[in-house]
Every structure is written in structure tokens, then in C-alpha cells.
Amino acid sequence: MKKNLLDRFSTYIAYATTSDENSETYPSTASQLVFGDFLVAELKKIGMVEVEKDKYGYVTATLPANTDQVLPTIGFIAHIDTAPDMPGINKPRIIENYDGKDIMLDAATQTALTLVDFPELQNYVGQTLLVTDGKTLLGADDKAGITEIVTAMEYLIQHPEIKHGKVRVAFTPDEEIGKGVCYFDVAKFGCDFAYTMDGGAVGELEYENFNAAAAAIKIQGRNIHPGYAKNKMVNAQLIAMELNAMLPEFQKPQYTQDYEGFYLLVRMDGTVENATLNYIIRDHDRAKFEDKKAFFTHIVNFLNAKYGENRVTCEIKDQYYNMREKVEPVLHIVTLAEEAMKELGIVPQVMPIRGGTDGANLSFKGLPCPNIFAGGHNFHGKYEYLPLESMVKATDVIIKIIQNIQK
């Protein structure tokens, strides 16, 4: 299975599928449609049925039941796109029998995976690591998930002695820019519940995620020649700095963990005349999330009272919500994944996602959808790496979950 996973993953990441948050099309980049066509062909080749890619780029397929027993229909989902933070790599660098030492990724820039920065590398001594060239991301988020799902389906088709109910798979575009399931047809997908294969290290199992919003701030200044600016100039950049300084210092990502929420300034542009700030707001607790949004409005109102009406405007848009409230009523689906891991000798690490997945929005669309590890580390950047043995374990978990639905 290891060679099959490696070959498939290497093929998948050669497709550039970076999403584009500034695009007005869906999906946001045509390359995702090209990779979708490839997946359609491969799913048909391995023996899946009802394989299709719709006009939005969603690729879906069915593994038919091979038992007369009435069982729930289960789904597995991963996303096609990679993060726009960095371009993707053409092929992984393969480090066999990892020796537990620092890994130089790019000698020219002295970019390295070091044990000081990434001590968890010690967990993978003796394993096969897939790493970047130090200039790109790897694409394990989430082509590792796609690889594992396709490989699991292929295994079950080749081993009909494993009895199972109907299984559906779906591969979605634009997850990384928060639009992964905008047009996803839950009714047509036809599952009782599903799992996204989009988590990190082995054992991760998540059914809680952030409530999320985006805040767009615009500040209108007044630019006057500095020699004649007394009592006339209003510097939009300084107001922007003042606004940011009013946010709680220890509610920034670098100071938070576990269930602690944050404000993050993701972009700032400005001149004396105009300034813009873009923030994301995150919290697992819905009440605290609403308080954070209200605090933003309070700051804006204060600055307008200080500098003049409509000097500062703020548009806040909710992005997704914590799936916990939708999964808790069907918590047996989390237990199903936990038990599958335990049977495979994997210790489940049930934890909140400090982010979001397609599963969050799908849960609110009526498809409860916890998230399972895909095996990668350090997503969205040049330090991303993926132990091949972790992919094997993720594939085994998929197969075991499907197998255990018989019980």
C-alpha cells in the first residue's frame, strides 16, 4: 500500500490547484477543474460508479454496497485546492529511513526543518518523510486526504470479502478560501453522515471548530501638505494603528491555544488619505465570538466619535460556525471513528480545530461531518511535510470505519 500511496500522492501534487480568493469564478481557478477531470478518470478506472464532476467542479462517486444488510450511507470528503499562501511543488522530496536530524530543504536560503522548531519530527525516526524544496508548500492539505480516500476505495473494490454498505466520496474546490461547499448538494450526495479527511497528525479527530468572521475596515483620512497641515490633516494610517492597538494584546494568535479565540490582522494597506485593514475573528464559544464582533463595532464607534462621523467604517461577515452543535446529537459517529482508530492501535486525539473545514459548513447544511487526520504537518508553507506511514494509517482508518458499520 505504501508504494501505491506514494505514487498516487506524487501524481496528485503535480497538478497545480492553488485557489484564488480574488477570483470571481467558481471554482476560483481553472486548474482545479483540470485536476477534477483527472480524478473522474481515475475513479472510473478503479471501479467506482456514478462518477461525475458537476459545473461547480465537485467530483463525486459511489462505492456500491456489497451486502443485503441495511446500513447507513457514509461519505468521505477531501478538497482539491491548495492554499494560496504559496505555490505548490511538482514532486515531493523523499527522505527514506529518516535519521532524526535536521532536514535542509534549501541550502541557498538555509531553509531547514529543525528539531528545535519542529520537535515532533522525532516521532518519525525510521519512517519515510515527504518534504518540500524549501520554496513551495507540499500540498498534503489536502491531496493527502484525496489520496487516502481513493486508495481506500480501491482496496475495498479489490477485496470484496470485506462487506460494507454504500459509500460516497466527494472532492471539493476552494476550501482554502472558505468557499468549499457553497454549491454542494447535500441531498444529492445522499449520506447519513460523512468525514472530511483534512486533519493533521495521526490520531487527530475533531468535531469542534472555530466560529469565524471576517472584518473589513476602511478609514478615510484627509491629506494636506505637511507644511500647512496643522488642525487640518487626518492621517488614516495613524488611525489604523490606533485601532489595532485597541485590540486585546493577548487575544492574538501567537498568544492563544486550545479553546482560546483571537483577532488576526491579515492585511493592512494605507496612505495618509486612505487606509484599509482586514481581520479575521475566531472563537469556539459562540457567545465570546459575538462579543468579539461587538467589540470591533465598539472600537469603530469610539474612533468615529473622536475623529468624526463615518471616518471609520467596518463590515463584518460571518464565515462559518462551530460544528459541535450539529455533531453532538449524533455523537456516535465520532465514537465510530474513535473505535476504528483504537482497533488499529492508534490513540485518538479528540481536539478542537483551531480553524475550519468543509465539514463545519456541511454540518450546518444537514450533513454531520467530523474531521479525521490526513497525516501532514505545517500546512500552508514551505515547512510542510508528510510521513508516508501516516498516510497508510489514515487509509486504514477509512477502511476500518466502513467495515465497522456492520457492527
Q: Annotated catalytic sites, by residue?
A: 81, 175
> Cis (ω within 30 of 0) for the bond into 27?
yes
Q: Are 369 and 333 in contact (CB under 8 A)?
A: no
Q: What sign does the CA torsion over 171, 176, 182, 183 have?
A: negative
- CA distances, 9 to each of 15, 46, 386 (Å): 10, 16, 11
- Which residues, 6+ apart, have CB-to-CB distance to 2 below 8 Å? 128, 388, 389, 392
Q: Which 3 state secondary structure label does DSSP give 369? A: coil
Distance CA 143, CA 57 (A): 16
Distance CA 105, CA 108 (A): 9
Distance CA 392, CA 231 (A): 68
Closest alpha carbon to 273 in 233, 310, 229, 227: 233
**How big, in percent rounded to 5, are the helix, strand and coil portions of the chain?**
35, 25, 40
Q: Are 81 and 176 in contact (CB under 8 A)?
A: yes
Grid look-up 514532486 returns: 91
What nine digits make up the cell of 279?
481581520
